[in-house]
């Protein structure tokens, strides 16, 4: 009897539908960049490793100098998506470390992406 109950419980878990964003990398180091060259960008790729569509609900940067761009349409299971992060070094000489918090409908509701580097003044 106990075996039958466990079997039913495990079967129910296997049928659970969820989305999950699995990122290839969670951080990017721009190294040394020149303020005079203007904004720099990097792309964070992810795969929906879940079994239901993944929605990126929001992407919030830690400051106004960093701007994330993310897909607004659902990412189907097994498909890839990209989040582009642009950093503006104008008027910000020296080292920087910034974050972008990604909110999803996934199993892990939020993920934090990180960028860093050093800006050489004009």
Q: What is the pLDDT of residues 80-104, one digit of tens each?
A: 999 999 999 999 999 999 999 999 9
In Å, what is the CA distance from 17 to each residue of 58, 65, 114?
21, 37, 29
| CA 97/CA 3 separation, integer angstroms | 52
What are the DSSP E strand ranges found in the chain?
A: 21-23, 27-34, 40-48, 56-61, 66-69, 80-87, 94-104, 110-120
Helices (H), the chain: 2-14
Lookup: tokens for 35: 């303020």
- Domains of the chain: residue spans and CATH: 18-120 (2.60.40.10)
Q: What is the pLDDT of residues 36-85, one digit of tens each?
A: 999 999 999 999 999 999 999 999 999 999 999 999 999 999 999 999 99
């Amino acid at each position: 009897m106990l075996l039958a109950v466990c079997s039913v419980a495990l079967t129910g878990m296997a049928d659970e539908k969820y989305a999950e964003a699995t990122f290839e990398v969670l951080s990017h180091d721009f190294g040394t960049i020149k303020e005079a060259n203007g904004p720099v960008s990097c792309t964070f790729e992810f795969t929906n490793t879940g079994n239901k569509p993944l929605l990126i609900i929001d992407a919030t940067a830690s400051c106004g100098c960093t701007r994330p761009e993310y897909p607004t349409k659902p990412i189907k299971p097994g498909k890839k998506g990209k989040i582009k992060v642009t950093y503006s070094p104008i008027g910000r000489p020296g080292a920087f470390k910034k974050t972008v918090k990604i909110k999803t409908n996934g199993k892990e509701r939020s993920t934090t992406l990180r960028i860093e580097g050093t800006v050489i003044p004009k």
